[in-house]
Amino acid sequence: MPEKLGFTTQIPVRITDINYGGHVGNDSILSILHQARVEFLRSMGYEERGPNDGLIMADAALIYKGEGFAGDIFDIAIGVADITPFGFDMYYRITTLRNGNTVLITEAKSGMIFFDYNARKVARLPEDWKEKLAVYDQDTISTSK
């Protein structure tokens, strides 16, 4: 997990995100990460899915570090790495402020692939996407310091 992630957004935890264990469910964490990803892409002028092509999630890995509860406001930091001709990895860190302390909730990674929805196959990541994603690329950030 990269130490520094360049984009941040906030998402409130809804009562419908809570499972029978009394905390945010794993399915809700994926949905919250999805919303954060949409906001990240929107900040660059993109949508996850256009009329013909867009992103598709190839894999996801989540590590739960703490519990989230109804009423929490999740701070979600996002960065990217390993930009390839066909996709990139996204990294996420979810924290919340509770009783004046920052609590780490989840660290996650998703492999995102550009996809042609008409042909139903992997497509090349457009050059303008690569350029805008490079601003948040952990490999670029770490080598430029």
Domain ranges of the chain: 7-139
pLDDT bucket at 142, cuts 50 / 70 / 90:
very low
Q: How far apart are CA 7 and CA 93, in angstroms?
A: 10
- pTM, full prediction: 0.92
Q: Which of 6-10, 24-28, 89-93, 139-143 has the lowest mean pLDDT?
A: 139-143
pLDDT of residue 144: 44
Q: Alpha-carbon distance 143 to 145, whole Å?
A: 6
CATH superfamily for 7-139 is: Hotdog Thioesterase (3.10.129.10)
pLDDT per position as a tens digit, 37-87? 999 999 999 999 988 999 999 999 999 999 999 999 999 999 999 999 999
Segments in 1-145 forming alpha helices (H): 26-43, 127-134, 138-143
Query: Residue written as tokens 């990674």?
Result: 109
User: In percent, how much of the chain has pLDDT > 70?
Assistant: 95
Closest CA to 110 of 69, 46, 63: 63
